[in-house]
Structure 1
């Protein structure tokens, strides 16, 4: 069987075994289509059926999460933990609390996490979890009760040498604290390495909240530097207003970039003078309000309903940091028409396959998520190291290590792309570089 036939047979099986799971199927399709040249040069991967083994999660856990709201009424949500691959180390990946969460989304995220984690060079496998619970509009007590109920079941399946969850959309420092507190009560022991994203006062790493956003900007800078382009003086649009977006904007501004727009799930703000980041942080982080408050608080800028319209704002750099598939073909076309230079993914699979095709055809520089947003899990791995050593590192050390990791990811992806005949194709390069590390470990360890 040749490589292309093998890939298509695996994709056919994925579609048959996972009907209706569009996000998962799209993620698998994108990765596997990049791997044909690797399989042609390394037929042992086909002999060992590596692809068939990789696309099937090692464990899929689905459970109910009953919790009591402030009115005394019992609510029930669904929880997930997908343990995809531990070839390189314990399963590692975040928890997402959002109404859109379903099995397909968690599987797509877990599959992507396998390769992303491999790219960091840290000894961690890939997994993902979450729930269709929506923290928005809930009181702190409701969120605490939900997190405690969620951990009652999750605690059976995790451990610092087994599976180490972290935060994601809807799961920030508050939720991580409640989850870890309940884990300690259940286990009767302090095991800080079981979860990452913790507060620094109880085992978390300095620099973890900033890591994904900072790492994204470091990766974007590597691409531009390679092209002989300076980051300073550019004009950027950043979707989202969570941790990834906020810290991406912070680092961009520190490096001389003017950020003119950001968003939430209801709409976006545009400020020609440049976004006042402290105002946005107060609205979103402290008050947990909508971004529509910005013009009144900053006394400048404008708010527009409809978050997808943010991609109509002219910019040099477009950094989607909100959710999957937020840039479709239509939005990509508008970015190209308005002269975008680079698209850098802060959220997972931010761009649809059609959007990625447009970038490639139009010569737009593209930083794919599994490489560009790996900074968060990289620093999570550094947090695990600090926990194992019972120590804490200075922020400067963590940031320096993060910067070096992002440089290494860029170089590994570039080298892999060149080795397999597609110079500077970072999508193909990142997929191949991550895959080879996992595949070699699987071959070495046998069935």
Structure 2
């Protein structure tokens, strides 16, 4: 057993002993550590300085209560979090998630992944994440406003345009960002650069809404172009029906693909004629209804309960855009059996470690979330630049920059994988490419 293998195992053992009840975080760390051995062998200074022990420990972990009052006058309380994981490359950057599933493990995994995702963009931003176990579903606008104001009353002490710049995530869209920004302004004075994903009326960025969904499709576009292929005429599966899924579907259709699926937490729809995007937007973005409403209005569509990935469906491209661990190993085998050759993650860690390994070992072009869905945070960083300059770029300009950034991310993943003799292993390529930037910065900055 090599010294590098011993070192990695020592780090894994230490983290598993320290955080045994954080499965999502442990999964993210294990996936990362399983791919970086070749880089560590070329850079013995990392082990000599025990950099991995420093890297895998958050710089700051904040947990606080969020008291708020519902419309009936009852007192409520939720937990709020902010994980400021690594600032070697710049201010902490990462979204806020409002969802009942939110806990320390999920946010630590998301923040850890965010470190390398942000590094891959080539922009000066570190990694962080935050949120609450508050559920916006079924709440009135007034209840959401009161919750956001209470949340920001505490969070405002720890963020700033040069310290930590949160954005949106699951359960946090333009409405929530607006309420959060309004409270920050009242507490700390106006500073457009403190939050991204803002409405356009107060210095949000055009293309930010579309960025994650567009970006994951751009990544695949450049992957296929490298093989003298394109997206046009291909059949695609998309899971989810939130912001990322909707705009992945939009860009796929624009580039000529036929998207036949989308899903929510209860089930999924299959529409062999292709998803009616205008109807889907009306149901999810305007009426805020369940997907069952789609099949009631579209005769060609069928609704099924359960997971999209449990169904035998023929397709060439798969875009999991819902949530973590939605694809297990059996689902991965099913996708490969049914002709899928590219799996691009719009969500964060939607494939289990076993599923990811199966894709890679079977020659599937598996595009991990830290690379493929980096478009959202890339445009968030571009929003920070616009705010700092007191400018607002056009949709076309931001979209072109996004496309260029995704091309650079794809190229970095591909070139790194080739350099280490594992062509098309984009997991290794993404992890090492992102880690190299962070590790070099941390070593230069010393033990801090």
TM-score bracket for the superposition, by shorter chain length: over 0.9
> Does structure 2 conserve the Cα–Cα contact (< 8 Å) formed by 1:214 and 1:247?
yes
Query: Deviation digits for residues 314-348 of structure 1, max 9, x if unmatched?
Result: 21111000000010111111111211111110000
1:31 aligned residue: 32
Cα distance, 1:309 vs. partner? 4.6
| Count of matched residue positions in the alignment of Structure 1 and Structure 2 | 446
Corresponding residue for residue 259 of structure 2: 259
Alpha-carbon distance, 1:295 to partner: 1.4
Give TM-score scaled by structure 2 length: 0.98
Write the mapping of 1:139-178 to structure 2, written as runs, cut at 5 A: 139-178=140-179
User: What SS is found at the alignment partner of 2:361?
Assistant: helix
Partner residue, 1:317? 317
TM-score (norm 1): 0.98
Which residues of 2 match residues 41-440 of structure 1 at below 5 A?
A: 41-187=42-188, 189-309=189-309, 311-440=311-440
- Gap runs ≥5 in structure 2: none
Output one character per residue of 1:367-395: Cα deviation in whole Å (capped at 9) or x when no partner.
11000000000000000000000110011
> SS at 1:405's partner residue?
helix
Preserved contact between residue 309 and residue 335 of structure 2 (Cα < 8 Å): no
8 Å Cα contact 2:344/2:366 also seen in 1? yes
Cα distance between partner residues in 2 of 1:34 and 1:406: 22
Superposed CA offset, 1:12-56 (max 9, x none): 111011111110001001111111111101101112221111100
Structure 1 residues 89 and 149, CA, compared in 2 at 3 Å: closer, same or farther? same
Give, in whole Å, the separation in 2 of the partners of 1:269 and 1:310: 13
Compute the RMSD of aligned alpha carbons. Answer: 1.0
C-alpha contact (below 8 Å) 1:320/1:345 kept by paired residues: yes
**Contact 2:365 2:424 (C-alpha < 8 Å) held by counterparts:** no
Aligned to 1:18: 19
CA deviation map 1:287-328 (0-9, x unaligned):
110011001223431111113456533211110000000101
What is the distance in 2 between the residues matched to 1:372 and 1:157? 29
Instruction: Sort the Cα spacing of 1:341 and 1:311 in 2 relative to 1 into closer, same or farther, 3 A.
Output: farther
Q: Distance in 2 between matches of 1:387 and 1:157?
A: 20
Between the aligned partners of 2:314 and 2:168, the Cα distance in structure 1 is 32
Cα deviation 1:405-444 (Å, max 9, x = unaligned): 0000011111111222222211000000000000000011
Give me the whole-angstrom Cα distance separating, in 2, the residues matched to 1:328 and 1:371. Answer: 20
Separation in 2, partners of 1:442, 1:258: 45
Structure 1 distance, partners of 2:283, 2:299, is 14
* Secondary structure of the corresponding residue to residue 210 of structure 2: helix
Q: Deviation at 1:160?
A: 0.3
| CA–CA distance in structure 2, aligned partners of residues 103 and 313 of structure 1 | 36
Describe the shift of the 1:100–1:225 C-alpha distance in structure 2 as closer, same or farther (beyond 3 A): same
Following superposition, the deviation at residue 358 of structure 1 comes to: 1.6
Tell me the distance in 1 between the aligned counterparts of 2:205 and 2:290: 29
Residues in 2 aligned to 1:313 and 1:286: alpha-carbon distance in whole angstroms: 30
* Cα distance in 1 between the residues matched to 2:398 and 2:76: 41
Is the CA contact 1:268–1:310 (under 8 Å) kept in the aligned structure 2?
Answer: no
Give the deviation of 1:186 after TM superposition: 0.9
Q: Which moved more, 1:133-142 or 1:411-420?
A: 411-420
What is the Cα deviation at residue 150 of structure 1?
0.6
Q: Secondary structure at the match of 1:101?
A: coil
User: SS at 1:184's partner residue?
Assistant: helix
Q: Is the 8 A contact 1:386 1:392 kept in 2?
A: yes
Question: Does the 8 Å CA contact 2:89/2:126 hold for their aligned counterparts?
Answer: yes
- Find the residue that maps to 1:37 and give its secondary structure: helix
1:109 and 1:128 in contact (8 A); partners too = yes
Q: Is the contact made by 1:3 and 1:39 (CA closer than 8 Å) also made in structure 2?
A: yes
Deviation of 1:243 after TM superposition, in Å, equals: 0.6
Contact 1:239–1:310 under 8 Å retained in 2? no
Shift of 1:7: 0.8
Partners in 1 of 2:417 and 2:261 — Cα distance?
Answer: 33
